[in-house]
Amino acid sequence: MGVDRLLRKAYNKWFRPDPLRDLTSRGLVVGRNLKILPGATIDWSHCWFVKIGDDVTLAPGVRLIAHDASMKMHLGYARIGKIEIGDRVFIGAGSIVLPGVSIGSDTVIGAGSVVSRSIPGGMVACGNPARVMGTTSGWLDRKRAEMINVPCFGEEYTMRGGITEAMRAEMNARMADGVGYVE
């Protein structure tokens, strides 16, 4: 690796501004315990329209987009809209939340969803466009019942828990039917 590349890598690691701090300094409102996983983005150019509650997870590749410039060339204006996300919300990988949408507390948005309309609290929604599929409590009850019949693994079976090659092989063998749960 060349010296220039090493210096650039060190600069990005140590001196690059924290993106979340940059967004909040420009008006993004964020509650406690926000988890932003790799590749998730919040509309940089209109972040002051976004409000996120407590205990929210944005899975990998989630996009919160508070503006729509598709008609700017024709109308001379871009459409803008607030995005409000309640408490204890999980937004699945690759989902897109569009301008003018609110997502109520205790809601789960399935992976790959396009949320173009508001979703009430306590619901599970998925699809393109995202539609309510049921209540969060009903969905959790079904998953708890499923856990009785499939393997469940502790935190030691994760990267943060120090999983070994043998443990990965064990998980694959025990998950013969394809699914399991991990802490």
In a domain, 143, yes or no: no
Catalytic residues: 67
Check residue 17 and give its pLDDT. Answer: 59
Do 98 and 183 fall within a single domain? no
Mean pLDDT of 106-117: 98
Check residue 77 and give its pLDDT. Answer: 95
Distance in angstroms (rounded) separating the CA atoms of residues 77 and 122:
35
Distance in angstroms (rounded) separating the CA atoms of residues 140 and 134:
10
Cut 0.75: pTM above it: yes
Do 112 and 174 fall within a single domain? no
In a domain, 144, yes or no: no
In a domain, 141, yes or no: no
In a domain, 72, yes or no: yes
In a domain, 25, yes or no: yes
Model pLDDT for residues 36-85, shown as the tens digit of each residue: 999 999 999 999 999 999 999 999 999 999 999 999 999 999 999 999 99
More confident residue, 9 or 87: 87
Check residue 176 and give its pLDDT. Answer: 86
Do 55 and 126 fall within a single domain? yes
Provide the number of structural domains found in the chain: 2
Check residue 18 and give its pLDDT. Answer: 75
Cα 99 to Cα 49, 64, 105, 157, 180: the distances in Å are 9, 8, 18, 39, 36
Do 68 and 156 fall within a single domain? no
Model pLDDT for residues 158-183, shown as the tens digit of each residue: 999 999 999 999 999 999 878 999 99
Q: Copy the structure tokens of residue 8.
A: 């650039």
Contacts of 52 (CB under 8 A, 6+ apart): 28, 29, 30, 31, 34, 85
Answer whether 35's CB lies under 8 Å from 58's CB.
yes
pLDDT-wise least confident of 14-18, 40-44, 93-97, 126-130: 14-18
pLDDT band per the 50, 70, 90 thresholds, residue 2: low
Do 15 and 54 fall within a single domain? yes
- Domain CATH for 38: 2.160.10.10
Mean pLDDT of 85-91: 98
Distance in angstroms (rounded) separating the CA atoms of residues 12 and 96:
27
Domain that holds residue 12: 3-135
Check residue 20 and give its pLDDT. Answer: 87
Do 56 and 27 fall within a single domain? yes
Do 74 and 119 fall within a single domain? yes
In a domain, 13, yes or no: yes
Answer whether 132's CB lies under 8 Å from 124's CB.
yes
SS3 (DSSP) at 86: coil
For residue 98, pLDDT beyond 90 = yes
Do 94 and 171 fall within a single domain? no
Do 178 and 124 fall within a single domain? no
In a domain, 66, yes or no: yes
Do 100 and 160 fall within a single domain? no
Model pLDDT for residues 4-33, shown as the tens digit of each residue: 666 666 665 555 557 888 899 999 999 999
Do 44 and 91 fall within a single domain? yes
In a domain, 140, yes or no: no
Check residue 106 and give its pLDDT. Answer: 98
Do 7 and 93 fall within a single domain? yes
